Amino acid sequence: MDIKKIMVVGAGQMGSGIAQVAAQAGFETVLHDLNLDIVNKGLETIKKSLAKFVEKGKITEAEKNEILGRIKPSDSLKNAADCDLVIEAVVEKMEVKAKIFAELDQIAPPHAILATNTSSLPITEIAATTKRPERVIGMHFMNPVPLMKLVEIIRGLQTSDEVYQVIEELSRKMDKVPVECKDVPGFVSNRVLQVMINEAIWCLYEGVASVEGIDTIMKLGMNHPMGPLALADLIGLDTVLAILEVLYNGYGDPKYRPCPLLRQYVKAGWLGRKTGRGFYNYS
């Protein structure tokens, strides 16, 4: 199967990054969201990212313009009608993703693959909302997408071998390293990462050390490029909480129980970088 045109549903931090790497790999790309204001914000993010690549000499100004020329804005899912692959990158809520996949199943051509960038939700359950479960797959990119090399590829119960091979090859064309995972809550990346982030929040909640102290210990002691609390702010505390809820409900194991402080921050609207306040103040 030959992938020529890709739609990315969701123009936020992850979706804009996925659209960028798709266009950089030479694919005709459609960036979709609920309205064009959101899409234009995503396009601005892509422009800034590519400008940094030009500054660092990774691409030329002409190449930057060619990449941007491959990305078309969309505020209607009907634009998926001639796409070979749709990658969904919206909020981490099953009911939202299920609705989108059911709609895409009606619109996208029969040969099209429907992929989800979910970081924790079951691929099999998402696939069950369509009449093409064999053509549904998980394609979990890491944040920030243009810089991070990994893509977790997750087969649902019915995902075909052909679809897996197409997505694995596509990931390499996007200059990513694909790694296959089973369809379990959190896959590998978040099953391991979120326990560390949650434990760091518990340390803060119990007064073991300050925000800066916890992050400094993990950076200097474990050689992590970023501390777990700063990383939580980058991911978004609402997303961290949503993933931990999926892990806690999926495994029934108390080690995934979200720290009360995390719930409190989310209820306060302190969601991290995107709101200007999380464990750190960005204003």
Identify the CATH number of the domain in which residue 68 sits.
Answer: 3.40.50.720
Q: CA–CA separation, 7 vs 19, rounded Å?
A: 8
DSSP state of 219: I
Does the annotation list 33 as a binding residue? yes
DSSP secondary-structure letter at 70? Answer: T
* 76 in the same domain as 202: no
Q: What angle do CA 164, 170, 176 make, to 5 degrees?
A: 105
Cβ pair 103, 131 in contact under 8 A: no
Q: Is residue 228 part of a domain?
A: yes
Using alpha carbons, list the distances in angstroms from residue 9 to 12, 125, 206: 9, 19, 40
Which residue of the set 119, 120, 171, 198 is catalytic?
Answer: 119
Q: Answer yes or no: 119 catalytic.
A: yes
Number of domains in the chain: 2
User: Please, are residues 207 and 245 in contact by the beta-carbon 8 Å criterion?
Assistant: no
Task: Given the residues 16, 79, 152, 198, select the one marked as catalytic.
Answer: 152
212 is catalytic: no
* One domain for residues 67 and 84: yes
Q: 281 lies in a domain?
A: no
The answer to whether position 279 is within a domain reads no
Which candidate in 16, 140, 171, 198 is catalytic? 140
Question: Does the annotation list 143 as a binding residue?
Answer: yes
Q: Which of 161, 181, 201 is the last residue of a domain?
A: 181
Which among 56, 33, 262 has a CA at the least distance from the CA of 147?
56
Predicted local confidence at residue 131, as pLDDT: 98
Please check whether residues 122 and 253 belong to one and the same domain.
no
228 and 166 housed in the same domain: no
Q: Is 161 annotated as a binding residue?
A: no
Q: Is 12 annotated as a binding residue?
A: yes
The answer to the question of residue 80 being in a domain is yes
pLDDT for residue 176? 98
4 token code pair: 């020529």
Last residue of a domain, one of 153, 181, 209: 181
Radius of gyration of the chain from its Cα atoms, rounded to whole angstroms: 19
| Residue 152: active-site member | yes
pLDDT of 1: 82
Note if 198 is an active site residue.
no
Sequential pLDDT tens for the chain (283 residues): 899 999 999 999 999 999 999 999 999 999 999 999 999 999 999 999 999 999 999 999 999 999 999 999 999 999 999 999 999 999 999 999 999 999 999 999 999 999 999 999 999 999 999 999 999 999 999 999 999 999 999 999 999 999 999 999 999 999 999 999 999 999 999 999 999 999 999 999 999 999 999 999 999 999 999 999 999 999 999 999 999 999 999 999 999 999 999 999 999 999 999 999 999 999 8
* Residue 16 in marked binding region: no
Would you list the DSSP string of 140-192? EEPSSTTT--EEEEEE-TT--HHHHHHHHHHHHHTT-EEEEE-SSTTTTHHHH
Closest Cα partner for 174 from 29, 58, 24?
Answer: 24
Clarify whether residues 267 and 167 are in a common domain: no
73 occurs within a structural domain = yes
Q: Is 24 annotated as a binding residue?
A: no
Q: Does 1 show up as a binding residue in the annotation?
A: no
Q: Are residues 12 and 56 in the same domain?
A: yes
Last residue of a domain, one of 128, 163, 181: 181
Instruction: Examine residue 282 and state whether it is found in any structural domain, yes or no.
Output: no
Nearest-angstrom CA–CA distance, 150 and 66: 25
Give the strand pairing for 5-9 and 85-88.
parallel
CA angle 180, 181, 186 (to 5 degrees): 140
Q: Is residue 280 part of a domain?
A: no
The CA distance from 10 to 4, in Å, is 20
Would you say how long the chain is, in residues?
A: 283
Q: Is 176 found in the same domain as 36?
A: yes
> Residue 126: which domain range?
5-181
One of 74, 117, 190, 198 is an active-site residue; which one? 190
Q: What pLDDT, on a 0 to 100 scale, did the predictor assign at position 56?
A: 97
| Same-domain check for residues 196 and 267 | yes
